[in-house]
Every structure is written in structure tokens, then in C-alpha cells.
Structure 1
Amino acid sequence: MTDPKPARQAFNIVAVVQAGRLQYEALLLAASLRATNPNFAGKLYLAEPQQGGAWPKSVAVTDATVRAMLLELGAEFLPFEAVHFGQSYPHGNKIEALAALPDQPFLFLDTDTLITGDFDTVEFDFTTPAASMRREGSWPAQELYGPDLAATWRALYDRFGLAFDGTIDPTQPENYWQRFMYFNAGWFFHASPKAFGARFLDYALAIRDDRPEALICQEIYPWLDQIALPLVIHSFGGGRPGAALAGLDGAVTCHYRTLPLLYARENDRVVEVLEHVAGRKDLRRILRDHEPARLMIYQNRGRKVRALFDRDDLPRREQAIRFVLKREGLWLR
């Protein structure tokens, strides 16, 4: 008789919610989590920036029906104050929200994420953080007369007293962007949101306000969070995700970005989960107020998008997919 497998460590999920597009994405996130992980042991926190500080105008979810549905789906609103970024850099919400979380293992997800499988199949080690590798070479740019990519990244690691050479992927060509540790900030995790968030904030502010000379010609917006993230992960002993985390950006989570992109490039399981949860009568009544959901899901334009692309032979760059969608009048954000 074999011993039973030990229970997976419980953790919380956090996403940032605001009025508008994010509130509808949060509904799909919460509904898909409930549908695929009915016994999820943690909490789903929806971090909501409060008016004041770096958000002079309220961005709270004021639609009572939406708030009630999110609560019914098991989400818990988590108010936080944005002091350093806010309206000037909304991506910074994911950095500042971490301080408001209970100091327990967490997984951050962008709201434009669907849960499509069982989290028990993901072998998290929350002491060794990682982040999403579903990204393109968006940063840094190779300046004509400036430092090469290696020198740019090395300057950042040196700035924070971190060892750079061990982060290199030697299987990639010299000065090619994938040789350097670069993540999409659509998901990341750690054992302590307090410690991780404090360091994330310190590094992001230092890059913004006192960048190394090698970065003088580099544009840091909107990529500031993704510039700081690999440094933070490396500082806590983490790195690129291995096979144990394959379910993230795989069979368990899908960071779809926009509904037209979902229909264009994601597998049948993702579409199945999306249309299943969006088909709930109580959700359909709300989601029909969101134009991308109304057109893509309920008016079946998503199926037209799907017919335009071969999922086994997609364009290498997202920009090419967007071009086709815009040409066909099927691009929505």
C-alpha cells in the first residue's frame, strides 16, 4: 500500500480590480476558479486601490451588482492605498497591493487570467519564487550606440548587489533577449507578500528615480514592473519556472490578455471554460454590459476569430495576430 500524497500547501490568490474592464475580467477569474477548483483552500483577494494618495479619483468598483456577484463567487475585496504609483503608473498597483495581504503564501494573477485546471497539480515551492515566461522581448531595446543587452541587465544586478552571471541562460545566443531572465508579471508567487512586496517596491522606485547610467536611454514605461521583477525573484533565490510549475501558463492557468486574443490563440479547453462560466445566467446578465464579452462570447464573434487562425501554426509575434484582428474588424480591448 502506497502512502498518500501530502496535501499541497494552501495559498492565497491576489488580483487587482478596478471599475471598468478589470471588474468584468475579475468575474471570469473568480467564476473559473470556483468551477475548476471548488475546494480551493485559500482565499481569492481582489485588491482595490482606494481614492487618495496616488489615485486622486476613485477607481473603485461602484456597480453594486458586480460587487455582490464577486462576493458570491468567493472573492474578498482588499482595500489598499497606492502611495508611489497609482494613476501615473497603474501597473504599480500589483506592487503596492502586496503590503495589504495577510503574510501567507500568495500567487499574484492579472485579472485577465482564466483558471482552467486543478491547482493541486502545480508543485509550488513558495520559498523559491518564479514568474511567467509567456513574454516577448519587449525590454530592453538595443540602442545603436549604447550598452548591449548584457551590459544593461548587468548594470541592474550590480545596482542591487546581485550576482548576474548565474541568471544567464547559456543555451541562448550572445546578446539575445532570451539569454537574460525576463518575465511577464502576469503571475508570480512567494511565501511572504510583505517581504516580496517591500523589496519589489524598493527596486522599482530605485529604477524609476535613480537608474543606473546604462539605462539612461532606455524607456522604462510600461515595463517598470517587469524590469524589477527578475531582480526581486533572484534576490529571494528564485528563477525561471521549472517543470513542476508547467501548469501555470499551461493546463491550470491562462493569461489571455484580451478576449479576441483568447479566441485566436488559446486551446479548446480555455474556450470551453470561458464559455461555460460565461454561460451562467447570473453572469451573463452582467457580462453583456462588457462589449468584448457581449460581442466575442454572446454574439459569437469569437468563433469568427477562431476560424482565422491555425493554433498549431500561429504567427510568432502577437503584433501579427493583432494586425489580422484589426484588419477584420475583430479587435477589441
Structure 2
Amino acid sequence: MKKGDLSFVFVIEGPRLQTQSLLLADSLRRHHPLAEIIAYCPAGCDFPPEIAAVLQACAVSCRPLAVPQGLWAAPYPHGNKILALAQPRETRFSMFLDTDMAAIAPIDPDDLPGAMQVSVVPEGIASWGKDLARWEVAHRFFDLPMPSERIHLLRGRKRAFLPYFNAGMVAIREEDRVQGLGFGALWRNTASAFDFGAKVGGKRPWLDQITLPLTMRRFGFAHKIVDERNNCSISNDRRLDGLNPAILHYHRSGFLRNWPDYGDLISAMLDRLPQHRAALSNWLTQGGYLGDPQPEPDAAEGEDHG
């Protein structure tokens, strides 16, 4: 890929995501030297100096992200990913990534979407609407028939299920427009309408993943299911041998520490700015990436749930 082809998009808000952004920004830049890397910042772009230094060294563009009042029926920090994807960009493609990820290898350009496609990876389990009754309500709300298509989820029995995707990685073509809006804006509008109007339970924290396939169906986008290497989720007791990720979705620092090349990821980031090594090591220690492993608190609603 050449310069101007691809933007990587993620969100930084609060100390936890600031620490995660260190590994994501450094690893993306090493594997994608010509890509745009954009961090959207709902709380503004005033970071501690050592965090700012890493982002600058990785040529990350940090952009404020306004969260409009009245967009959600109740606070929904997960929605910041949708707002980030809805922002205007100059590249041909944009790939949103959850911040708790790291690039292990370059992505394959063939995994980027074609015309009126969205590149996605199936979810691991049916985390919402297991019995399909909720999905029937969701589709009726938008006057959509229930889909006949089934995909295979990625964990456990690999159940055949409705199209349902992990929203930790979503890739779009910026030139695709419906009613003058790109996919991110259409997803934002769909999620907001669903949040206020659909009479169905359990929307949080799954509102993003519920409305991702609904947006595609409403506006004529096809899902392009790409290999799990683009959003390779590791957690709990998943076996790591045989995995060959381009993008590792590690969820928590404790899970990342089990990754065979974990030490190389940490060292590469610290070696980028030796003058800030002590301060950055302190951030990584507080986040559980260095030092004695410590139990991590349960994820708050604003953190990843994929």
C-alpha cells in the first residue's frame, strides 16, 4: 500500500487507553510506515509528556472528538468508536481498531473492503440475542426482514448464527456514500435511533455490535468476512500455539503477557524513545504490562468488550 491508502483509527481517553496506545501506535508504525495513524480524543489531546512523545515519534495525528449531547439515551463510551469512524479523512480506506490491540505483522491489502463492503471478523460467541427473539425486535424496528444467512462464530462450538461481528476491527472505504453519508455516519445515526427507540433489553454494552450489521442491511453494504488474523482475540485459556495474527486483540495486559513475543513488543516501544524509558516503564508497570502480574479490575463500560 502507498501513502494515502489507509488510515488506522483508534480512541484515547483516560490513563488506561493512554497506556494501551503506546503499544498500538508503536507496533502499527513499525509494520505500516506509510499509513496514517489517527487517535481521536474525546477528552482532548493534552497528554503527559512521555505519552505525547511516543505518539509524536510514531507520527500519530491526535484529533479532538466531540461527543454531541443527546446522541445516546444514556452515557455510552463505547460509542466513541462509532463517532471516530464517522469523522472525515483523506485516505481511501479507514480501519478502526480497539486500543487494546497490537500489530504483529502487516495487514493484507486484500482484506480491505471492496465497493459497498465493510471488512469485519465474526464475534466469538452470541453475546447478545442468543435466542434470536431480540434480533427479531431489532430488525422490525428498522422494517428489515430477519436475514436467512448464517455465519460461524469463532469460539466454543463455532455456532451458526446471524451475521454478528466483533466491533474491535471495522474497515471501510471512505468513498462509499449513501444519502451523502459514509458508513461511520450511517452507523452513528442507526445506533442512536436504536438506542432511543427500540424496545429491547440488554443494549449495553453491545449497542455497537448490535447495530453494526443492522447498518449494513439498512443501507445496502455487504459484510466482507476476513480472516481472524485481522482481529485475533486472546483471552482466558485460549491456546496461543498456531495463531498467526496481523492484529492481536489482547483485551487485558495479563493476557498479552502470555503472548510468546510479548517481550519484543514491549522492548520495541521502549527502544523508540530511550530518553523516556523510565517514565514509560512506569506507565507500563501501572498498567500491568511490566512488573509482578496483578489482578486487573473488571472492565468498565467504556472499555473493550469484544
Deviation at 1:135, TM superposition (A): 3.1
Q: How many pairs are equivalent?
A: 272
Q: Which structure dedicates a bigger proportion of its chain to helix?
A: 1
Gaps of 5+ in 2: 176-180, 233-243, 300-306
Deviation at 1:9, TM superposition (A): 8.3
Aligned pair partner of 1:136 in 125, 135, 139:
125
Aligned pair partner of 1:256 in 250, 261, 276:
250
Give the AA of the match of 2:56. L
Gaps of 5+ in 1: 1-5, 50-57, 143-148, 303-328
- Counterpart in 1 of 2:21? 26
Identity of aligned residues (%): 24
Deviation at 1:240, TM superposition (A): 5.5
Q: 2: distance between equivalents of 1:171 and 1:89?
A: 26
Aligned pair partner of 2:64 in 55, 63, 79:
79
Q: Judging changes above 3 Å, is the alpha-carbon distance between structure 1 residues 100 and 283 closer, same or farther for their aligned structure 2 residues?
A: farther
Aligned pair partner of 1:230 in 201, 204, 213:
213
Q: 2: distance between equivalents of 1:71 and 1:288?
A: 18
Deviation at 1:97, TM superposition (A): 2.1
Aligned pair partner of 2:133 in 135, 151, 157:
151
Q: 2: distance between equivalents of 1:179 and 1:90?
A: 27
Q: 2: distance between equivalents of 1:231 and 1:166?
A: 14
Matched, 1:284 2:277: yes
Q: 1: distance between equivalents of 2:84 and 2:278?
A: 30
- 1:209-228 aligned at under 5 Å gives the runs 209-212=196-199, 215=200, 218-228=201-211
Q: Which structure dedicates a bigger proportion of its chain to strand?
A: 2
Aligned pair partner of 2:40 in 33, 47, 55:
47
Give the AA of the match of 1:129. V
Q: Judging changes above 3 Å, is the alpha-carbon distance between structure 1 residues 23 and 178 closer, same or farther for their aligned structure 2 residues?
A: farther
- Counterpart in 1 of 2:54? 69
Q: 2: distance between equivalents of 1:254 and 1:61?
A: 27
- 1:235-246 aligned at under 5 Å gives the runs 235-239=219-223, 241-243=225-227, 246=229
Deviation at 1:78, TM superposition (A): 1.6
Q: 2: distance between equivalents of 1:80 and 1:86?
A: 19
User: Please, what TM-score do these two structures have when normalized by structure 1?
Assistant: 0.70
Matched, 1:168 2:153: no
Deviation at 1:35, TM superposition (A): 2.1
Q: 1: distance between equivalents of 2:112 and 2:195?
A: 31
* Higher RCO structure, 1 or 2 (CA under 8 Å, sep 6+): 2
Q: 2: distance between equivalents of 1:136 and 1:233?
A: 20
Alpha-carbon contact 1:66-1:286 (below 8 Å) kept: no
- Counterpart in 1 of 2:289? 296
Give 3-state SS (helix, strand or coil) of 1:153's partner: helix
Deviation at 1:73, TM superposition (A): 1.0
Q: Judging changes above 3 Å, is the alpha-carbon distance between structure 1 residues 151 and 82 closer, same or farther for their aligned structure 2 residues?
A: same
Deviations 1:165-187 (A, max 9, x none): 24323899xxx965122222111
Alpha-carbon contact 1:129-1:236 (below 8 Å) kept: no
Deviations 1:229-285 (A, max 9, x none): 121234443226144x74442521011111102224x4x24x254233244235633
Give 3-state SS (helix, strand or coil) of 1:167's partner: coil
Deviations 1:134-178 (A, max 9, x none): 5333212x6xxxxxx223213322332444324323899xxx965
Aligned pair partner of 2:173 in 153, 171, 191:
191
Q: 1: distance between equivalents of 2:283 and 2:73?
A: 24
Alpha-carbon contact 2:229-2:247 (below 8 Å) kept: no
Q: Which moved more, 1:79-88 or 1:223-232?
A: 79-88
Matched, 1:207 2:207: no
Across the aligned residues of Structure 1 and Structure 2, the Cα RMSD in angstroms comes to 3.2
Alpha-carbon contact 1:46-1:77 (below 8 Å) kept: yes
Q: Which moved more, 1:228-237 or 1:16-25?
A: 228-237
Give the AA of the match of 1:229. L
Give the AA of the match of 1:158. R
Q: 2: distance between equivalents of 1:189 and 1:32?
A: 18
Alpha-carbon contact 1:112-1:257 (below 8 Å) kept: yes
Alpha-carbon contact 2:254-2:288 (below 8 Å) kept: no
Q: 2: distance between equivalents of 1:63 and 1:87?
A: 30
